[in-house]
Amino acid sequence: MTLHAASREALDLAENRLGEVLAAAGTDPATVGDELLSVVALLDREIGLRRAVADGSASSEARVGLARGILAGKVSEPALQVLDSVAGSRWSSPRELTDGLEALGRSALLTSAEKSGNIDAVEDQLFRVSRIVAGEPELERALSDLTAPAEAKRTLVRTLFADKVDVVTKTLVEQVVLRAKGRGVGNALEELVQLAAERRERSVARVTSASALSDEQQARLSEKLNALYGRQLALHVEVDPSLGGGLVVRVGDEVIDGSTAGRIDALRRRLAG
């Protein structure tokens, strides 16, 4: 997805708001994701509404009020809070607003897969679907056909995949197919695979220990990390005696260094400074 500067800034703000909303107790990420994608479908159909919500000449308050006036009672309050951020920001174009909103819906759905511990399965299923479509040119043409009724394409996706994949996978694939926009679904499916892979990597805790961990120790560590990150993390444990003692935990780009070697290095840096 390519966005101009204003839209990138708007999407950053909306992503932050989405993170806050999904972190709130009682919020169901899957519901929020489904609702955001339903608004994408609405804005795709209603060109006038899409332009009005993205109209930079109107005040932020007016755009937010317009969106709430139409959608209140039709989507949940958590989804409305995300939409407040979307409507209240300035986007480079109406189309980029809907593309950004689609990205938020996808993110919420992948978050639901993370929290349920299904992100590995979703990534694998998206990859398999992308390979099936890539290997069947006639299927890709059918799914990418802009003249085909949306319901016919949705039915085709569900017939082929619905009873074989997670509901998050099904929803994401349907969204790609329904918004193919003439560029084919192959590349869009590959983008989804990459998004899920990035999420899966964030949901893997790579643990390096100075000595082997017992099952009980791994269970306690898993419980603490799940509580710390607010989602299920898969533990990948390796043993490295050179650590001297303790653990090093890596989750995505974040490192928690509780090893003896790490503490010594930190002390050296403080003394050197």
Q: What is the pLDDT of residues 50-62, one digit of tens each?
A: 999 999 999 999 9
Choosing from 116, 138, 159, the residue where a domain stops is: 116
- The span from the CA of 2 to the CA of 99, in Å, is 9
Helix axes 5-23, 94-116, angle to 10 degrees: 30
Residue 9 lies in a domain: yes
Taking Cα atoms as reference points, which of 185, 207, 223, 218 lies closest to residue 255? 207
Residue 167 lies in a domain: no
Q: Is the pLDDT of residue 180 over 90?
A: no
Residue 43 lies in a domain: yes
Determine the pLDDT at residue 266. Answer: 73
Q: Is the pLDDT of residue 28 over 90?
A: yes
Residue 138 lies in a domain: no
Query: Higher-confidence residue: 193 or 162?
Result: 193
Say if residue 109 is in the same domain as residue 206: no
Residue 166 lies in a domain: no
Choosing from 101, 116, 131, the residue where a domain stops is: 116
Determine the pLDDT at residue 60. Answer: 97
Residue 177 lies in a domain: no
- Which of these ranges, 1-15, 22-36, 97-111, 182-196, has the smallest mean pLDDT? 182-196
Say if residue 107 is in the same domain as residue 3: yes
Say if residue 112 is in the same domain as residue 206: no
Determine the pLDDT at residue 254. Answer: 86
- Which of these ranges, 104-113, 174-183, 185-194, 240-249, has the smallest mean pLDDT? 174-183
Determine the pLDDT at residue 51. Answer: 97
Residue 3 lies in a domain: yes
Q: What H or E segment, with its residue span, contains residue 21?
A: helix 5-23
Taking Cα atoms as reference points, which of 106, 122, 123, 110 lies closest to residue 14? 106
Determine the pLDDT at residue 186. Answer: 87
Q: Is the pLDDT of residue 201 over 90?
A: no
Q: Which domain holds residue 233?
A: 202-272
Determine the pLDDT at residue 67. Answer: 97
If one counts the domains in the chain, the total is: 2
Say if residue 105 is in the same domain as residue 212: no
Confidence of residue 273 (pLDDT cuts 50, 70, 90): low
Choosing from 116, 132, 158, the residue where a domain stops is: 116
DSSP letter (8 states) at residue 58: S
Q: Is the pLDDT of residue 183 over 70?
A: no
Residue 127 lies in a domain: no
- Which of these ranges, 151-160, 234-243, 255-264, has the smallest mean pLDDT? 255-264
Cα distances from 55 to residues 8, 48, 99, 267, in angstroms, run 17, 10, 16, 55
pTM: 0.76
Determine the pLDDT at residue 264. Answer: 75
Percent helix, percent strand, percent coil in the chain, to nearest 5: 70, 10, 20
